[in-house]
A and B are shown apart, each in its own frame.
Chain A
Amino acid sequence: MKSFSRGILGLFIVSAILLLSDLDNRNKSKPGQQINKGGSQAVEGKMYSIGLSYFAPEASHDELLAGLWSRLKELGFERNKNLRVVESHSNGEIGNISSILLNLDNQPLDLILVTSTPCVTAALTSVRNHRVAFTYCSDPIAAGAGKSYKDHAKGISGIGSFPPVEKTIQFILETIPGIKKIGTLYNNAEANSRSVVSLMRKIADKKGFELIEVPVTGSSEIFQATQVILSKGIQAMYISGDNTATQGFDVIAGLCERSHIPVIVNDKELVGKGAIGSIGPGWKGVGYHTGDLVASMLNGASPDSIPLENYVNENIEVNIPKARSLGLTIPNEFLTSGNQSQIVRKQRFALVHYVDSPNSEDCEKGIRKALEDKNLRDGVEYSMKVYNAQGDISTLNSIAGTLVNESWDLVFALSTPTAQLLSKKLTDARLVFSNVGDPHAAGLGKSAAEHLPNVCGVSTMSDFEGLINMVKTLHSGIKRVGTVFTPAEINSVSYREHLEQAARKQGITLVSVPANSATEVLDAANSLVSQRIEAFCQISDNLTGSCTAAILKASRDSGIPFYGFVTKLVQQGAIGVCARDYFEAGYEAGEMAFKVLNGINPENIAFQNVKKTDYLISEQSARLFKVDLTEKVKVAIPNLKIIK
């Protein structure tokens, strides 16, 4: 038994090493440490109940609640154990709030918690029987909760989080130098928005820019209102915490995107949906802070004796790629993380190869080039972690395990097995693939538009008809062409079938010989020669991609012309290529990735095949194989480039 326990001990030691290296993924110390931990603990064995009423489900509200529940749990109040929560929201309609509150008010509850300004206002008149706590409200005074933070309405107390309007405007002015017009859109019925906008006006006067404001009365008007604002020549759009505008944010961001107008917000959740920057309350921290208030009120503290409080826990988040795409540079003072609450997001990418192959490597180069062309620099705006399974499926599984563990802004998968595995394991991450021949056969989607929600990418199906057309034009009356293919690669098999179809359409027979390892490629090529093919039409896969030299050798020795699908073959002895490059595939995947970073959901991006096709012919090789490049040929092949 002693030796068995040694084995177990070994496991423990190694697990401990793994966990130690994984420490930074452990839930960090809770936000808002500056909070005075005086909250009161739950009394053992006692049941508590809260009625929670809010405006509408929103991402930042979820975050607020996450912070709130986690603090309450720390204080001993656990949902579904000793804390019962009756939850309801008004579906974003102000008219519903009162009836919801009345319903809550007539239930036996210890406390009613309201979040968002409209609910606070309604609670002041509708709740009679219970004490009320509130949070997630920009300006409690404007909401009517009191004359001042100390002198407030009876039976209610809470946390206000007035958005840092002045700082946000400073951010806009410094990011867009010389800006004259800033637009904003809000619901006039929301008290918090009214007070934010009135502060904006004051700052506008002081700083000398024009504030274009358009009020709306509901989310249905947002589309039109945004168009109106944009037509007035604004240079930036500032959306504060207005509930109606937040709900319709996708519309606002979409229209602004089309007019190349940057959007600045006070809600960091919106940064991922098209805003370039957010300066606002960290809602998780605010929720956490609210936990103390709720706990002490659950234990009987009277709200009358608790003054209102403004708590912001300021949090800056910027989308640098998005800003750069609009030609903007974020000033350094907003990027340096001197203040602990300022968070600058460097985008974190992961890129996974299955095996070292020229195709996969070219793809990576293309992706990097595309990002560079979008002004994203490795190490500055993003960091790219590269993994390579080195052809080993169990390592690929381990890589997936490693990736799941961390959060990524984007993951690139550069092969069919990689895309399959990652799309299964990384359901939370956004995935962009390339170097995948046929995404539908790989099970990634039913059609180009209808596919797994978190996956998009560029497939690398070659232009088979283009190449067959080229061969047919250069060698009239050709009957037999040949290719080496790799049965083990799903792409290769699928390419071979497509090439065969394209050839058959033109009355050409395709002879194909399989190769399973690098050593077999030359034999396979020689076997093609012995089967009296008239030209090589070599499809592109990982194995033959690494060993094309062998096939080119067979071509040279036998005098049978070689055609292929990869650009660089023209320099190596091919007469012509019809190239949809892996570099190009990577480049297009990089551009697609950029769209995803700008807030477009991968679900809405259709799979696409590499768009650009180059038709290249090498004059030297053509002469060597005695192929005439007449004017007729140049006419028959569109966009033909002849390389001297």
Chain B
Amino acid sequence: MTLLIGSITIGLVLSLLALGIFISFRIFDFPDITAEGSFTFGAAITASLIVAGVNPVTATAMAFAGGLMAGAATGLIHTRFKINPLLSGILVMTALYSVNLHVMGKSNVPLLSQLTLFTWAENFSVSVSGKDAVTNIIGWSVPVKDLWILLFCLIMIVAFSLLLLWFFRTNIGTAMRATGDNDQMIRALGVNTNVMIVFGVALSNGFIALAGSMLAQFQGFADVQMGIGMMVWGLASVIIGEALINEKKLGLLIAGAVIGAVLFRLLVAIALRWGMNPNDLKLITAAFVFLALVLPGIMNKTKKIKLISQ
């Protein structure tokens, strides 16, 4: 049960990443690979600020701001200099690698004894239910602390998702969505699509940096290599969520991205729990993701066949 709760918590933290990727890939149709840089950027900013004694909330907010800047840079390179979106992402991601090393001053910043958002959640748990409190959930004993952290992440993700949903329903948000769907139409309506793209990619990377910031606080350190592979995982989460939800409503798409991220972490946890050869881990994860993508489709098909045969 601790395994389940731990995996869901990591999944929720990383669903911020999925939301970010969802914005750039799905809303804007902009293949943005700044993610791997901005993820670490968020972690680096938060870690350095926390070590310097800054309040964790400010440090997290600064990470979001940093992500916005990184994304804006990618957007500007693409719109101003007409550079291919993939390449502009590569440029910023590569540059961020050095920036991250500068921000941290070294390649790895430990936060083991620092005050983070998660220490607050832990302290809250201690004040409510005592230190080392354990509860029992259908036979598994679970530290209460973990439940509070899970709840904290859940509240945070729900809040961010609702915020995003609200934002994309405002005028500017709708214009942004339209930019991704049909840019000629929206240009005809007098909207500057370039501004929309810059803003959208910035927002996307803000969320990704936020994910990096939260993960660094959750795991207790920031490492310059922590962004590697993140974009692929985020994208996989978004697509799993889509395959599962299979509908075009905005709210459901956002929920799908979050569900996909959590589901993805659960699949990895199952692969780990079954205890296979460590070298096969990624192979098995890939196989799971494949199944998660294919199964809903097969289920739909069998449903249709049934309907026809009736």
List chain A positions with a Cβ less than 8 A from chain B. Answer: 3-4, 6-8, 10-11, 14-15, 17-19, 21-22, 25-27, 353, 356, 385-388, 390-402, 404-405, 416-417, 420-421, 423-425, 441-444, 452, 487-490, 492-494, 516
In the complex, are the beta carbons of B272 and A397 less than 8 A apart?
A: no
Contact A22 B4 (CB under 8 A): yes
B230 neighbours in A (Cβ, 8 Å): 393-394
Q: Is the CB of B229 within 8 A of A391?
A: yes
Which residues of B in the span 249-280 have a Cβ within 8 Å of any Cβ on A?
252, 255-256, 259, 262-263, 265-270, 272-275, 278-279
Please tell me which one of the listed residues B6, B136, B224 contacts residue A405 in the complex, with CB atoms under 8 A apart. B6
Within 8 Å of chain A (Cβ to Cβ): is B183?
Answer: no
Q: Are B107 and A4 in contact (CB under 8 A)?
A: no
- Nearest-neighbour CB distance to chain B for A455, whole angstroms, equals 10
Residue of B nearest to A17 (CB): B270
- Complex CA distance for A490 and B224, rounded to whole angstroms: 9
Q: Indicate if the CB atoms of B269 and A11 lie closer than 8 Å.
A: no
* A388–B279 CB distance below 8 A: yes
Residues of B contacting A395 with CB < 8 Å? 268, 281
* B255 pairs with A489, CB closer than 8 A: no
Given contacts A27-B141, A393-B215, A493-B107, contact A7 B233 (CB under 8 A): no
Taking the closest CB of chain B, its distance from the CB of A353, in whole angstroms, is 7
The reply to whether A4 and B223 form a contact with Cβ atoms under 8 Å apart is: no
Which chain A residues border B215 with CB–CB below 8 Å? 393-394, 397
Q: Are B220 and A424 in contact (CB under 8 A)?
A: yes
- Of A26, A387, A391, A487, the residue contacting B272 (CB under 8 A) is A387
Interface size bucket, B side? Answer: 35 or more
Main SS at interface, chain A: helix
Residues of chain B within 8 A of A353, CB atoms compared: 278
Residue of B nearest to A356 (CB): B279
Complex CA–CA separation, A19 to B101 (angstroms): 40
Q: Are B281 and A390 in contact (CB under 8 A)?
A: yes
**Bound: A452/B220 CA distance, A:** 14
Q: CA separation between A393 and B219, bound complex, in Å?
A: 10
B14 x A394 contact (CB < 8 A): yes
> Contact check: which of A6, A26, A393 meets B226 at CB < 8 Å?
A393
Q: Is the CB of B281 within 8 A of A401?
A: no
Chain A positions within 8 Å of B81 at CB level: none
User: Is B244 part of the binding interface, using a Cβ–Cβ cutoff of 8 Å?
Assistant: yes
Residues in B210-232 with C-beta less than 8 Å from chain A: 215, 218-221, 223-230
Give bound CA distance, A395 to B230, whole Å. Answer: 10
Whole-angstrom distance between the alpha carbons of A526 and B10 in the complex? 43
The number of residue pairs between A and B whose CB atoms lie closer than 8 Å in the complex comes to 184
Query: B75: which A residues are within 8 A, CB to CB?
Result: none
Shortest distance between the CB of B198 and any CB in chain A (Å): 28
In the bound complex, what is the Cα–Cα distance between A492 and B107 (angstroms)?
9
Known: A386-B278, A395-B281, A397-B10. A21 touches B270 (CB 8 A): yes
Q: Is B4 within 8 A of A18, CB to CB?
A: yes
A319 vs chain B, min Cβ distance (A): 25
Interface membership of B190, Cβ < 8 A: no
B113 contacts across to A, CB distance below 8 A: 443
Say yes or no: is B3 at the interface (Cβ < 8 Å to chain A): yes
With a cutoff of 8 Å between Cβ atoms, the chain A residues found around residue B97 in the complex are 488, 516
Instruction: Let me know if B244 and A7 touch, CB within 8 A.
Output: yes
Cα(A488)–Cα(B6), bound, Å: 28
C-alpha spacing A492/B108, complex, angstroms: 11
User: Does B87 belong to the interface (CB within 8 Å)?
Assistant: no
Q: Flag whether B112 is at the interface (Cβ < 8 A).
A: yes
B106 at the interface (CB under 8 A from A): yes
Residue of B nearest to A388 (CB): B278
Contact B1 A19 (CB under 8 A): yes
> Known contacts A25-B3, A393-B223; can you find 12 more A-B pairs with CB under 8 A?
A11-B262, A14-B267, A14-B270, A18-B3, A19-B140, A22-B3, A26-B1, A27-B139, A388-B278, A388-B279, A393-B230, A402-B272
Within 8 A of A (CB), among B4-40: 4, 6-8, 10, 14
